[in-house]
Structure 1
């Protein structure tokens, strides 16, 4: 059984490990707890027997617009609907905070997930690489 927790107490090592395995990137401990407390409107974790197996965060502009970031599910728990449930929980918390819009950027191979599974609609957007 998967339990979803909004604004759970973040362990930097645990979340960094999940992020590394979910995004197939090198493991490096990041200051997640500090960043989330400072910049995020909310975040949601998916737990299996107290093990963090999924995560998403929402940053915002302090007004009507919020931005979904870092949707991650451990590969061992993929294809079970956990990601869509994480996004739904984050959207609900964002709505409850008074936001009107939830934005997400994604790569083309994730269109089915965000558009079909999560209910986002496609929009035009731009991206500027800074580094």
Structure 2
């Protein structure tokens, strides 16, 4: 953790920097920036989603699953969170657990990638 106290501005800067790090495929760097934000704001959905993505991209599937499950519990109508949780479970060879999340994602938001993951196009 940094030597300086965290402020709302610091959290915003670190969140945006973490987004950029994910864009350039540095998920571990993103996690380092996001952990203190989650520590200070554990209920913040946007931070949990971004950190879940970072964990997923760095193959930390258990941690990704925990973040995505937290979001799904708090926002059961969050299509992206269901999709991301489904992808995480699928990547861990848990297809039967992933399927309902893919279907919910597609039902909540009929984006082509959600629809395809749910198997509705087959």
TM-score (norm 2): 0.40
Higher strand residue share: 1
Greater relative contact order (CA < 8 Å, ≥ 6 in sequence): 1
Higher helix residue share: 2
TM-score (norm 1): 0.38
